[in-house]
Structure 1
Amino acid sequence: MSEIHWTDGDTEHTARWHSETGLPAPGHVVTADDRMNASTAHRLACEGTALLWQGDYHQARQLLLAMGRRVDRKTPSAAPSPTAAFHLQRRASGHRARVLGRLLVPLGADYTLSLRRAPDIRAACEEAYGAPRPTPSVVSLRELLGVIGAHQWRTKGVDVPALDARIHPHYGVFSPVRGEYVDLVAQAPLPSPAAQGGPAFDLGTGTGVLAAVLAHRGISHVVATDNNPRAVACARANMSRLGFTDQVEITTGGELFPPDRAAVIVCNPPWLPAKPNSALEQGVYDPKGAMLHAFLTGLAAHLLPGGEGWLIMSDLAEHLGLRAPDELRSAIAAAGLRVADRLDTKPRHPRASDPTDPLHTARAAEVTSLWRLTAV
């Protein structure tokens, strides 16, 4: 167990350190309250000093926003290429996370936040962190705000028109806010073995949204897999809420594919072949495209005769220069697969039309596709 140490007056304190992003416990910690201004807080955080907040909760949130504005003033220089722009943005994003992650707050053993005007966050923390621990802890305020936001998303849910229902994401599980890829799965024609009652697989199910869409379309048996325990719990809760527990089986294990074969196998792997900076980024970044290539190389052996693999991919990696333009088609052919069809859609998320985004050119050109793959 990692610990954090600080001194308040002549008294030394120790608490358990918790970081979902895996950051090590800060070595130098000072206490801070409403008297500290943003310039001082920003300077100390940039120097590597963590600030343990002991003042008003809402003042701490305002301080975090002000620190963020100071970090953002140091805009990276213009990049010579989309690839360079991507790496500059990743570097700037990492620096921002480290600096803002040094504003800390104390949590009681029961997840009570003992700050003036603090909300009751116990339910949000228990959802994210599990049952209360026997000792107090310290977390970054930035992370805690993410936990609170995730609790609100989980309570409210995300509207999924293809289901005429809502999916409720859990903390640490990729939320289906980009509905265009969900619509592709709802609209793609089912291969004949699936239309005749054959089973389906959903690999890396996350919230379970695509498994639910397949069940909603009438597939009587869907096996959905994920190695993330949070995703497994999330998907099972969503299937129960939607009434699909008899149709959808949620499993976990070390293998990407379940045993046996299926009429349709859906996979929506992380779209960018880059290293995630934390476990929370694993839904976006896939080092060297490992999951993508595991899906392609194993697909033919797990398809029923006449079955299809549905690969959902964005071409953002190609526009950023992270993947060669013909690399995906070459990998498909090398795996003994044929492209039966491809359904395309343009992204609808706000960043695709935001000219201030450093990656705007690539995002504006992005296309999301459902590749219908069959064994040769």
Structure 2
Amino acid sequence: MPRTLPRFFFVTADSLSPFPTITWTDAGTTHTARWRSEAGVAPPKRVVVADDRMTADAAYRQACEGVALMWHGDFHNARQLLQAMARRIDRKAPRKPAASPLDAFNQHRQAQAQRARTLGMVLIPLEADYSIALRRAPDMREACREAYGPADGPSVVSLRELQGLVGAYEWRKKGVEIAALGARIHPHYGVFSPVRGEYVDLVARVPLPSPSVDLAFDIGTGTGVLAALLAKRGIKRIVATDSDPRALACARENIERLGLAADVEVMEADLFPPGRAPLVVCNPPWLPARPSSPIERAVYDPDNRMLRGFLDGLAAHLAPGGEGWLIVSDFAEHLGLRTREALLSMIEAAGLQIVGKEDIKPQHPKASDPNDPLHRARVAEVTSLWRLAAR
């Protein structure tokens, strides 16, 4: 059959709908469905219906031009098409060498964003119950329910996002082994997984401020891994805070699974809970840059907002003689995003003093990969636990 493309169809926004919608036409019938994007990406402005006749070259060209492909063919073929498009992105001529680590970082993020935009143009329609009415489509209903909540009608999502939430679903079922904890942590979709163990190892090995510490705050708990570790170290009561609903649900589930519900209270709060504690722990996002998706908020902290908030509020939440443990990498320093002097100035301005520091080198694979675009910064990176006290 000839490889012809359907005409363009334009997205419409239903003013009565509380969420974005996308509209397309197939065989003379117009369809409208909810548009789903965890990153908050707007619905594509131009949509064509595509099937198994679409070549990878044509799909890549359309996606680069901002044209989305509403897939109505075989599901397995859609996945192969996406892989072929990714290979075409990878074959593009490399950028000129970066003049500095900061330039390398900016180029890397720009390339990542462009890659996400291009690969996000292959769209999959979901039925009202999250089923997929395509040939050889797997049953992804449970993964969608865990990520999006109860089904509420037909919707459309990019295949790339769909693959991500299914991967997260499998990760949640299997869990991540945490050696220092002697147990598995099960991350929810949208909650950053504790795959980098350096910060966990630091919290496991640094001596507590006092053997009699009976209360600790874990600020920005995420999966709850540090709160669980503090409980395993013998602290009788831990208050773990977060402001993200998915993180709160994830932490509560992990704490329950580990049998630590009597020791750990998970509380919704913007940084600190009420009161003071002899130990306050925080592992804020390490890079002062703008996140491009909700899960990146665990990595990127615009203008050091969380870091500054933790430091500025720490003294008021430390019990006499207590310590605040700030776990942060110097990766931002090697990238030119923040200086060591700036960090020390923040600590001093917050009325804090440094009483100790423990360092650890990264153990993740990218740290030893010379082909990584940020290799110069990664090979020099050190993660530190700063022990802070009120002046």
- In which range does the TM-score fall when normalised by the shorter chain? over 0.9
Q: What displacement does 1:72 show?
A: 2.3
Residue 223 of structure 1: aligned partner: 239
For 1:280 and 1:260, the matched residues in 2 are separated by 29
Number of equivalenced pairs: 372
The 5 Å alignment of 1:54-93 reads: 54-74=72-92, 75-93=94-112
Residue 226 of structure 2: aligned partner: 210
Matched, 1:198 2:214: yes
Q: 2:256 aligns with which of 240, 247, 252?
A: 240
For 1:170 and 1:98, the matched residues in 2 are separated by 24
Question: What SS does the corresponding residue of 1:356 show, helix, strand or coil?
Answer: coil
Matched, 1:358 2:358: no
Q: 2:142 aligns with which of 103, 119, 123?
A: 123
Cα deviations by residue, 1:295-327 (Å, 9 ceiling, x for unpaired): 111111110111100000000000000001321
For 1:159 and 1:23, the matched residues in 2 are separated by 33
TM-score of the superposition, structure 2-length normalised? 0.94
Letter in 2 for 1:303: L
Residue 283 of structure 1: aligned partner: 298
Letter in 2 for 1:79: A
- C-alpha contact (below 8 Å) 1:296/1:335 kept by paired residues: yes
For 1:76 and 1:219, the matched residues in 2 are separated by 51
For 2:71 and 2:302, the matched residues in 1 are separated by 36
- C-alpha contact (below 8 Å) 1:351/1:360 kept by paired residues: yes
Question: What SS does the corresponding residue of 1:93 show, helix, strand or coil?
Answer: helix
Letter in 2 for 1:198: D
The 5 Å alignment of 1:138-217 reads: 138-192=156-210, 195-217=211-233
- C-alpha contact (below 8 Å) 1:343/1:371 kept by paired residues: yes
Residue 265 of structure 1: aligned partner: 280
For 2:340 and 2:66, the matched residues in 1 are separated by 41
For 1:278 and 1:364, the matched residues in 2 are separated by 26
- C-alpha contact (below 8 Å) 1:206/1:232 kept by paired residues: yes
Letter in 2 for 1:12: T
Cα deviations by residue, 1:206-254 (Å, 9 ceiling, x for unpaired): 000000000000111100000000000000000000000000000003x
Question: What SS does the corresponding residue of 2:298 show, helix, strand or coil?
Answer: coil
For 2:23 and 2:44, the matched residues in 1 are separated by 9
Cα deviations by residue, 1:92-119 (Å, 9 ceiling, x for unpaired): 1111111110100011111101211111
- C-alpha contact (below 8 Å) 1:76/1:92 kept by paired residues: no
Q: Unaligned stretches of 5+ in structure 2?
A: 1-18
Matched, 1:28 2:43: no
- C-alpha contact (below 8 Å) 1:312/1:368 kept by paired residues: yes
Matched, 1:109 2:128: yes
- C-alpha contact (below 8 Å) 1:270/1:285 kept by paired residues: yes
Q: 2:351 aligns with which of 307, 313, 336?
A: 336
Q: Which moved more, 1:33-42 or 1:235-244?
A: 33-42
Question: What SS does the corresponding residue of 2:110 show, helix, strand or coil?
Answer: helix
TM-score of the superposition, structure 1-length normalised? 0.97
For 1:115 and 1:153, the matched residues in 2 are separated by 25
Residue 12 of structure 2: aligned partner: none
For 2:293 and 2:164, the matched residues in 1 are separated by 14
Question: What SS does the corresponding residue of 1:13 show, helix, strand or coil?
Answer: strand
**Structural RMSD (CA):** 0.9
The 5 Å alignment of 1:283-362 reads: 283-362=298-377
Q: What displacement does 1:204 show?
A: 0.3
For 1:129 and 1:10, the matched residues in 2 are separated by 30
Identity of aligned residues (%): 64
